[in-house]
Structure 1
Amino acid sequence: MRCLQLLLFLVCVVTSARAYHVLCVFPIPSRSHNSLGKGIVEALLGAGHEVTWATPFPPKESTKGLKIIDVSATASVSEMIDMNDQRNADAGIALIRTFAANITRLSLSVPALQQAIVSGKYDAVVTESFFNDAEAGYGAVLQVPWILLSSVSIMPHLEAIIDEVRSITTIPLLFNNAPTPMGFWDRLTNIFIYSAMTISNWLERPNTVAFYESLFAPLAAARGIALPPFEEALYNVSVLLVNSHPAFAPPMSLPPNVVEIGGYHINPETPPLPKDLQHILDSSPQGVVYFSMGSVLKSSRLSERTRREILEVFGSLSQTVLWKFEEELKDLPKNVIVRPWMPQSSILAHPNVKVFITHGGLLSTLETLHYGVPILAVPVFGDQPSNADRAVRHGFAKSIQYKPDMANDMKVALNEMLSNDSYYTRARYLSKIFGDKLVPPAKLISHYVKVAIETNGAYHLRSKSLLYPWYQRWLVDIIAALLLACLAVYVAARRVLCYLWSSVNGGDCNRIKVKKN
């Protein structure tokens, strides 16, 4: 009997500790987006799973349980687009869609990724949502649960894939920098933006379907299956992971298969600073200003005049300035230190950092929330203006326009932030809210991936609204039936009254004429 109990115990332990094999496809040639993929991969590896990771930035060191597929061929796409060029920054959704489609096409042209899809055996696939719905083909071809990651707060397009769109009347869209609650004109603007995006998606849908079929039909055939229809593949998201947090993004009403994991890319154990930087930060009694425009925007592409004027502003400060700059600069002020790379999280974790000058990307913004550092935002494109405005409304940031003569605006904003403790106080308050998490994001990631696998798609967590056609979700059929019922009652009552009137008075009630007085 004891032997049987021991055997059952061992079976339960082995079953509960079963390792799964997950394919993670993160081909966007951006260090920040690579950090998103790395965070997912590390969470899965930490839970004991095996991971195959398609990335344009292969790690130098091997890791147990991790197989790398090098898709650095996608780097040529980013080289074609200079986001420091304001014409590209203003090009909008059309440019981003072309950018995203080229990334998908180039990554799927890599033989190693093709082979992994055709012959690999996986339990789930994780991809990032980035303006290209054709990536629904990964889950469709592999016939495994599809876990989708949104790198920003959930937008109506994604909301429509997993549930009914409810947010447009109460929550500003990504490109609508309105406060919450919104006024009449802000809500009207929200509706116009949503309508424009919906029409744009509808017009683009034939191209997306053709792109989906051209990329994934050959892979499905090689795997010996028929490629599912595009709509069936797109609306088959098992779990949607969203890189947001209520401390920064407005809370939304969403189904249980949508999980907020804001800040999951941040290492809970901040790496130590290099000794020289540690000494610099420790020996700066007036504080430190840190300046970085991220991995896509290159500070080195600023004009010579802009560089000179910014250096003059920095030289006038009593604080030490750390500037992530990709090239060597001459004639630096004594308080300015320039390097092509800076350990951002380790710098932000230091208590002497007073202000972080940033482009306002979501990852950098979430890092400032984590460490409680005020930001001076210089947004350029995409979600950056929206993030910057939201940070300003939260009270821990100021924002200036990205332009050649922005140095004076930067000086005014820096003087205000360095002399007013309210920005730092607010940043620390929001940091406390941001860090108050019952379950670490990494555990949420591994848990919901496991749930999706073990329940064959997490259908019990999905919204049931998508089982109904639009006219049923909006109660059009119910309203029509009630109106017809009211009309039928009216007609029946009128006929009964006419019959009774005719029986008492004689004649036809339909021919009654009202006498004029």
Structure 2
Amino acid sequence: MKFSIFILLILAELCTTYKVLVFNPAFGASHSNFLGKISDILIDAGHEVTMLIPVFVDGKKDLIGSKKVKNIIRLGQDPRIYQMQKEGATEELMRKKIWTMGAEITSMLGFIGNFSKTSAYQTDYMFAQTELIEQLREEKFDLGITESLFLGAFSFFDEIGIKTIINADSTLYMNGVKDALGEPAAVSYYPGLFSPIDDKMDFFGRVKNLLGYQFGMWFSTVKYDAEIGALPKSYKGSRDWRKILSSVAFNFVNSNQYIDYASPSLPKTVFVGGMQVNTKKSGKATLSKEWDEVLSKRKTNVLVSFGSNAFSCDMPDEFKNAFLEVFASMPETTFIWKYEEANSTLANHLPNVKLTTWMPQNDILADDRLTLFITHGGLGSSVELAYQGKPAVVIPLMADQPRNAHMLTRHGGALQLDKTLLDKPSEIKKAIETVLNDSNYKKNAQRLAKILEDQPNKPKDVVLKHCDFAVEYGPLETLNSEGRHLNTFQYYSLDIAFAVLVVFLIVLFILHLIIKFVFRLLKRTLLSPKKKVD
């Protein structure tokens, strides 16, 4: 009897499995890791995941973001994209200029100018793969997952017959998706994705935040229109990017409501930030013997990493020398520095410094012996240090990093340092010692980690449950907001305000005429000469 029940349970489990296609372009590590983690969650639940990896950046062609996905289909880079990126030396130039260029998004205009064009090339190239399209169509996938960074993926899913799609953005949110869903931007108090200021904005701060949001909308519109224009004439689906994005079953964002600023959101927006973090308590964060020995050498340990796009080896020499001077002045502290030049001798004279081209960042952050994290404030790193409860010095370099920095510092566990001060050893050391010597930073960081540990809905469960729900019921029209169909005047009730103003002015005008008429009547009555009486 027990054996029969066991068999029935297995069969029931098998019946509920489904097939998922994850569109995960080789573009950037944070993007690949985010979509890779969603893939891992689905695989652990017994579902069949196929990952399609079109190469967008040649230097990132080996990215997968997952160790569990076995069904991988790679699509080589479009020759036109390869040529453009090679001629522009985009990757190399960005890595070098990132240290000195302005941190705001407008400083990236020179780099993102060709992004629309290359995205359109990728869409055109994908739809030219007729054999691949037919192969994928025959798989009859139940669910497609992709990121709104590349709109062509949504049309590609439609072309191969996937009707239920989840958008999964590795960022906090995307302006274009907010607009398509009709979700309030709340620019008067909700910091934009690239906002260098927090939610306490004065007049000029709100102006700046509004302009930043409009800049993001402009970029999304131009890029999406270019990708739509690259679709073949044979494609029968929608060519309205707002309609395409609003038809998703859910919109996953790499945000956590207990870390980020409070904001209005719609039912389709699902917060999954933190699903990718393995904490020490989970038992999955463990260190190898090599890293265990490194952390055991000294009582104080500091991890220095600027992410996967900013290479420390490409820093200006004055920045490198400033860090080395700080490290030399703190011999009782071990500094683990992510330095991307293999076998570098830069710090050979400093026994307390370990240079490494790679390290298990999450697992090191999870270790109790790590004292401080010096980070660029990338979203992945910000979420990891929040979950691991580590105090930090955040040095934002560009894009969304300034926003991530003030998002973290408001919790009291991190201190922000401007990157223009990286040539001043005294400023770097002052920031480090401030956090190390003030126990409130550690206390506040640990409190935030406890909040995240105890949050009612675990991000991993949220991901799985919403994927299951999407497969079962598809994109529900009842979850769509009618706000997405309103123009700017209607959305912000400016038309009503204008109508009220017009009515008010008409009433004032009528009152003016009445008063004028009464005044003339009184004047005529009171001031007219009296008739003589005989």
Distance 1:278 1:156 in 2: 43
Matched, 1:338 2:352: no
Distance 2:366 2:109 in 1: 35
5+ residue gaps, structure 1, are: 1-5, 498-507
Instruction: Report the equivalent of 1:270.
Output: 284
Aligned equivalent of 2:260, options 249, 262, 272: 249
Instruction: Report the equivalent of 2:478.
Output: 460
Matched, 1:279 2:293: yes
How high is the sequence identity, in percent, across the aligned residues?
25
Distance 2:71 2:129 in 1: 11
Q: What is the TM-score normalised by the length of structure 1?
A: 0.82
Matched, 1:314 2:323: no
Instruction: Report the equivalent of 1:433.
Output: 451
Matched, 1:211 2:209: no
Q: What is the TM-score normalised by the length of structure 2?
A: 0.79
Distance 1:282 1:514 in 2: 100
Query: What's the offset of the Cα at 1:471?
Result: 5.0
Distance 2:423 2:510 in 1: 76
Instruction: Report the equivalent of 1:161.
Output: 180
Query: What's the offset of the Cα at 1:245?
Result: 1.3
Query: What's the offset of the Cα at 1:207?
Result: 6.1
Instruction: Report the equivalent of 2:44.
Output: 46
Letter in 1 for 2:72: I
Query: What's the offset of the Cα at 1:341?
Result: 1.2
Instruction: Report the equivalent of 1:408.
Output: 426
2:277 is paired with a residue whose SS is: coil
Distance 2:65 2:274 in 1: 24
Task: Kindly indicate whether the alpha-carbon contact (under 8 Å) linking 1:147 and 1:241 is maintained by their aligned counterparts in 2.
Answer: yes
Map 1:300-449 → 2, pairs under 5 A? 300-317=313-330, 318-327=332-341, 328-330=343-345, 331-403=348-420, 405-449=423-467
Instruction: Report the equivalent of 1:128.
Output: 147
Give the paired residue count: 490
Task: Kindly indicate whether the alpha-carbon contact (under 8 Å) linking 1:27 and 1:107 is maintained by their aligned counterparts in 2.
Answer: no
Map 1:502-517 → 2, pairs under 5 A? 514-515=523-524
Instruction: Report the equivalent of 1:504.
Output: none
Matched, 1:296 2:305: no
Query: What's the offset of the Cα at 1:360?
Result: 0.9
Go from structure 1 to structure 2 and tell me whether the alpha carbon gap of 1:408 and 1:261 turns closer, same or farther (over 3 Å shift).
Answer: same
Q: Which moved more, 1:85-94 or 1:341-350?
A: 85-94
Map 1:162-241 → 2, pairs under 5 A? 162-198=181-217, 200-201=218-219, 205=221, 208-214=224-230, 216-217=231-232, 221=235, 225-226=236-237, 228-241=239-252
Q: Tell me the C-alpha RMSD between the 2 structures.
A: 3.9
2:354 is paired with a residue whose SS is: strand
Distance 2:266 2:170 in 1: 18
Instruction: Report the equivalent of 1:83.
Output: 95
5+ residue gaps, structure 2, are: 54-60, 528-534
Q: Which moved more, 1:98-107 or 1:460-469?
A: 98-107
Task: Kindly indicate whether the alpha-carbon contact (under 8 Å) linking 2:337 and 2:353 is maintained by their aligned counterparts in 1.
Answer: yes
Instruction: Report the equivalent of 1:503.
Output: none
Q: Which moved more, 1:33-42 or 1:275-284?
A: 275-284
Output one character per residue of 1:378-429: Cα deviation in whole Å (capped at 9) or x when no partner: 2211111221233233322222233561433212211222222121111111
Distance 1:61 1:438 in 2: 27
Query: What's the offset of the Cα at 1:17?
Result: 4.3
Letter in 1 for 2:251: L
Distance 2:134 2:41 in 1: 26
Go from structure 1 to structure 2 and tell me whether the alpha carbon gap of 1:359 and 1:164 turns closer, same or farther (over 3 Å shift).
Answer: closer
Q: Which moved more, 1:340-349 or 1:165-174?
A: 165-174
2:173 is paired with a residue whose SS is: coil
Letter in 2 for 1:70: R
Go from structure 1 to structure 2 and tell me whether the alpha carbon gap of 1:107 and 1:269 turns closer, same or farther (over 3 Å shift).
Answer: farther
Instruction: Report the equivalent of 2:74.
Output: 70
Instruction: Report the equivalent of 1:57.
Output: 62
Query: What's the offset of the Cα at 1:10?
Result: 6.2
Task: Kindly indicate whether the alpha-carbon contact (under 8 Å) linking 2:303 and 2:337 is maintained by their aligned counterparts in 1.
Answer: yes
Distance 2:125 2:109 in 1: 24
Task: Kindly indicate whether the alpha-carbon contact (under 8 Å) linking 2:395 and 2:417 is maintained by their aligned counterparts in 1.
Answer: yes
2:475 is paired with a residue whose SS is: coil
Output one character per residue of 1:280-304: Cα deviation in whole Å (capped at 9) or x when no partner: 21342x2200111111111111244
Letter in 1 for 2:111: L
2:337 is paired with a residue whose SS is: strand
Distance 1:277 1:140 in 2: 47
